[in-house]
Copies of this chain bind each other. A is one copy, B any other.
């Protein structure tokens, strides 16, 4: 099927670009409250499911073993901007497991934050700590080290699909999504860990479960609640200064969990409503996926006028050029 246009980007009086995609809102029982486009095709959720990938870290007791804080749990769920406190937090996580940054296998890139990148350029070049996924990797390494203490498994290969860490992650994903994750659905993510393609509707159900705890074993539900609480308490650590995920969770606290992923993916939960949300833009555009997510939050979360005003800049962003002149706007279609 051809997915519908969900976002138009206007310049002046004309539409300059168009983004097609699919989006779905579901509850933990699998009931679809809303769906547009093909929500059955498997898509790579990429970084949008970091919070689900972090569940084994909590279920294993590793958080208590190493005394991980809310900031560090938020980093385990993060695509962080590489700002100074993000980098310091990841280094601290590794130190708690007795490791140094050389254990990270995510690769290096310049910080997402332009000001952080400029600050770094003045003193050096990026390391794996600055990779937006370094907190997730530090979480995997903490879990791998905890396992090593008990089972003599080597932590160094933690990114391999057959390593116990990734096998646990895969089992958690299968439990929450209800999807069977065969080898044919597995590819390699930007940070080198496995990523499994999962239908969008299953991702929405998984996030409904993650948000409400409903449909999960007690220990898993507790782990989900602890992660949501950590992200609600320390949303800056999930993304960074000015970023959508941070701004939304700062505004709405525990009422909204939201996480971006590469190639136009967004996942989220509205815990009080018992709903999960999943969005994928066909073309991989983050600007469109983000606007759709903002519009779906506005549609499915009861809002007062101030809440609504806070969401508008994300749901209907105005585009300005290098001189700050308004040149266009992003508009979510009426299908959302």
Residues of A within 8 A of B (CB): 2, 9, 11-14, 16-20, 42-44, 105-110, 114, 117-119, 121-122, 125, 131, 184-192, 195, 197, 263-264, 281-285, 288, 321-325, 327-328
Contact = CB atoms under 8 A, between A and B. Distances in A.
Contact of A121 (B105, B118, B131): B118
Contact of A107 (B105, B187, B322, B328): B322
A91 B115 CA distance: 26
Contacts of A114: 110
Contacts of A2: 2
A325 B188 contact: yes
B44 A322 contact: no
B190 A322 contact: yes
Number of this chain's copies in the complex: 2
Nearest to A196: B12
Given A283-B283, A283-B285, A323-B107, A328 B18 contact: no
A59 B25 CA distance: 59
B187 A13 contact: yes
A119 B121 CA distance: 7
Contact of A184 (B13, B18, B325): B13
Contact of A283 (B17, B109, B325): B17
Contacts of A131: 322
Given A321-B191, A325-B192, A197 B14 contact: yes
